[in-house]
Structure 1
Amino acid sequence: MRLGFIGAGRIGRPMAGRLAGAGHEVRVLARSPEARAALGADGLEAVADAAAVADGADAVLVCVFDDGQVRDVCLDGPLLARMPAGSALVVHTTGSPRTAEAIAARAAEHGIDVIDSPVSGGPHDVAAGRITLFVGGADSAVARLRPVLGAYGDPVLHVGPTGAGQRVKLVNNALFASQIGLLADAARLWRQWGLDEEVLLGALLHGSSASRALTGVQARGSVAAFAAATGGFIAKDVDVVRKVAAEEGGDLGALRAALESLAAAHR
């Protein structure tokens, strides 16, 4: 397929590389000459504006940092107007389900399918072709784009209509962040008992409390170190979770206290 890509950062760049490696023709947005030269060295076609990304594309994939940037690119910019009728837009950024739904409504006016496909994992998972994708969208659109998403995603989980991918990802992130918050509370207990946090973290990996969150914390040596390294990304998504829960009448319940513990650890 002929693909456009916007957001070639820590997650997006290895995605674009795997797409090109799978035989797709990939145009990547890069604003500066230096960025375009770097992408060209990786065998990717770099272009200077979103209109060029969209021109003649079968699909455009967006992997920018946050929901505001998604709205700037997909609702306030020329992207949808320049994409061909019958093409598709994939939003990989974690954000509000309402943003995904608004984009889908606008895109429908141009005959464009939209799927939201937030990711769970990191750049190393993309590079290995095993990042998890939570996909929301029409059955036909998801089926058509599976060969594209499968270049880096495994599993590719179709979880419902447009917006459902974001809702699953937000629940996932709330649980993950809450687990870090609980570990922060546990770390305080350990210190009160005079225990060595790093030793105890290593031991807990072999117990029933083992989790992906604990694995990440143990690799950093402490909850505080993990929170400092990942806080920017986690805090962004937690803010979205709280906003969406407030907008849609959701009750965070016990998750709220754990998220507050995480915020305290990050401070």
Structure 2
Amino acid sequence: MTRVGVVGAGRMGTPMVARLVGAGHQVRVLGRTEAKRTAIAELGAHAVTDVEAVADAADVVIICVFTDDQVSELCLDGDLVAHMPRGSSLVLHTTGSPSTARAIASKHPHVDVIDAPVSGGPHDIAAGAVTLFAGGDEEALARTRPVLAAYGDPILHAGPTGAGQLVKLVNNTLFAAQIALVAEGVRLGSRLGVDEAPLLNALAHGSAQSRVLSMIAAAGSAEKFVSAVGEFIGKDVAVVRDTVAGLGGDLGELDRLVSAVTP
């Protein structure tokens, strides 16, 4: 039985906790409010009130918060990682900057840092089928894989620490660009006098079919889909822009497309 600590039992983290408990792991989860602690207990996990208790004696600590700044507060400014045992693994599921993961690994060499942003949603996690892009030491990932396999499949090793974030950022940039392409197609259809719903349904059966197009068709319209995912995609694209700018580059032809669907 592996001792697992979790910070971030929200929209994505809650089904992770449920799957970890179901796989037989001993799970401690940070719960800052009484209501949250009650919800954690109902999942079969042990609720704790501070990050030190999450980290203490844990084999693996999983971070699934919303922003890269929150990861930095916990792992660079805070004491969470300092309380983790030597040889344990820190898993970062938050999509963010690869430099954050590398800085954590540099500051805390006593733990193995695995940046493993997810591709998918809560329903994929609940089904044990969310994609994980993992960066970090290959042997460390192998040791951690049985824990991640409770909800992750496939678990794809992308390279050294930070590589998981880089792959996820490229993925989400292309995702945003593909949304914009479909939205442009919808506008073209409107100018030609074709209603959106039958257009999307028809395109889903043609050579223009893609996973993104199917998701937009299921949502009912491009506008509805952009409203649902815009905040998340916008956050990730901002990180991509900052990362590429730091290397002296830009998004090139992708920039116009992603700008059309991000805040």
After TM superposition, the score normalised by the length of structure 2 is: 0.97
Tell me the distance in 2 between the aligned counterparts of 1:126 and 1:92: 12
Give the structure 2 partner of residue 14 of structure 1. 15
In the TM superposition, structure 1's runs of 4+ consecutive aligned residues that sit over 3 Å from their partners are none
Is residue 131 from structure 1 mapped to residue 102 from structure 2 by the alignment? Answer: no
Alignment of 1:31-180 (within 5 A): 31-108=32-109, 111-180=110-179
Q: Deviations over 1:62-109 (max 9, x none)?
A: 00001111101111111011111111100000000001100111111x
Secondary structure in structure 2 of the residue aligned to 1:181: helix
Instruction: Determine if contact 1:184/1:261 at 8 Å carries over to the other structure.
Output: no
Tell me the distance in 2 between the aligned counterparts of 1:256 and 1:161: 27
Tell me the distance in 1 between the aligned counterparts of 2:15 and 2:39: 13
Tell me the distance in 2 between the aligned counterparts of 1:172 and 1:250: 18
Greater shift, 191-200 or 154-163, is seen at 191-200
Secondary structure in structure 2 of the residue aligned to 1:225: helix
Tell me the distance in 2 between the aligned counterparts of 1:153 and 1:120: 10
Q: Displacement of 1:149 after TM fit?
A: 0.8
Instruction: Determine if contact 2:95/2:168 at 8 Å carries over to the other structure.
Output: yes
Instruction: Determine if contact 2:219/2:225 at 8 Å carries over to the other structure.
Output: yes
Tell me the distance in 2 between the aligned counterparts of 1:202 and 1:238: 28
Greater shift, 84-93 or 246-255, is seen at 246-255
Give the structure 2 partner of residue 211 of structure 1. 210
- CA RMSD in angstroms, aligned pairs only: 1.0
Secondary structure in structure 2 of the residue aligned to 1:141: helix
Give the structure 2 partner of residue 225 of structure 1. 224
Secondary structure in structure 1 of the residue aligned to 2:32: coil
Instruction: Determine if contact 1:185/1:261 at 8 Å carries over to the other structure.
Output: no
Tell me the distance in 2 between the aligned counterparts of 1:208 and 1:70: 41
Tell me the distance in 2 between the aligned counterparts of 1:250 and 1:146: 35
- Equivalent residues, number: 262
The percentage of counterpart residues that share the same residue type is: 58
Tell me the distance in 2 between the aligned counterparts of 1:156 and 1:91: 14
Letter in 2 for 1:105: S
Letter in 2 for 1:104: A
Q: Deviations over 1:171-201 (max 9, x none)?
A: 0000000001111222211111121001100
After TM superposition, the score normalised by the length of structure 1 is: 0.96
Give the structure 1 partner of residue 201 of structure 2. 202
Tell me the distance in 2 between the aligned counterparts of 1:159 and 1:200: 37
Secondary structure in structure 2 of the residue aligned to 1:262: coil
Tell me the distance in 1 between the aligned counterparts of 2:31 and 2:196: 43
Letter in 1 for 2:116: S
Secondary structure in structure 2 of the residue aligned to 1:159: strand
Structure 1 residues without counterparts, runs of 5 or longer:
none
Tell me the distance in 2 between the aligned counterparts of 1:74 and 1:223: 38
Instruction: Determine if contact 1:4/1:28 at 8 Å carries over to the other structure.
Output: yes
